[in-house]
Amino acid sequence: MSDNIKEKLLKESIDAAKASENGAEYADREDEVAAEENVSADTENRGEAEAHDEINESPEAEEPGKEEEGKQEKEKKKGFLGRKDKKDKRDEQIKELNDKILRNLAEFDNFRKRTEREKSQMFEIGAKSIIEKILPTIDNFERAIASVPDDLKGNAYVDGIEKIYKQLMTNLEDAGVKPIEALGAKFDPNLHNAVMHEDNEEFGEDTVSAELQKGYTYHDSVIRHSMVKVAN
């Protein structure tokens, strides 16, 4: 083999070695660049994740108007509670006024009933007082009529007295005045006043055998007890 051929082969070998060496270096450089790019990407991803976490953790950063909405919600609740308190106070005042009105109505009704009762009692007392003053006049009428002789019965004067007596008794009866039934009735201390006793077989025991003075009642109360004689 000639020297030229040897030199050419050696040069080609050297060039091939350099090319191989340069390729390896280029591959290593590409690996380093790729690693740096991966590191940079990881760093960016971590930064974005941390930023995202900070945004999620911070309500203000996530929703800038949330604090204002919270204040408005609190104001609304405060206003609602305030209106509710006012409504409760108004309801309480209305209830108190209704209670006062009911009490006043009850007191007025009691006052009206008491006044009517007192007025009725006063009227009854006044009526009894007047009737008591009239009773002696009635007694005199009865005595006068009972003492008329037989020959004067039917006389116009006597008939006039009897008519006046009947008219007076009718008016008193219309006013609530009634005579007490005594003759032949069982003795009743609430109605009769026994002033005499007698043994009389015609009447039963404790029976009124004679009426000495007529008694009267006004409605359900006794104005004057009957003065009677009671058989034993």
The answer to whether 219 and 124 are in contact (CB under 8 A) is yes
Alpha-carbon 156 to chain mean position:
74
Mean pLDDT of the chain: 78
Q: Set out the domains of the chain in order of their start, with CATH numbers.
A: 94-175 (3.90.20.20), 178-232 (2.30.22.10)
Q: Using CA of residue 229, residue 209, residue 177, residue 142, what is the dihedral sign?
A: negative
Q: Which helix (H) or strand (E) holds 188?
A: none
Summarised one tens digit per residue, pLDDT across range 139-155 is 999 999 989 888 888 88
Q: What is the pLDDT of residue 123?
A: 86
Confidence of residue 61 (pLDDT cuts 50, 70, 90): very low
The answer to whether 178 and 217 are in contact (CB under 8 A) is yes
Q: What is the pLDDT of residue 69?
A: 66
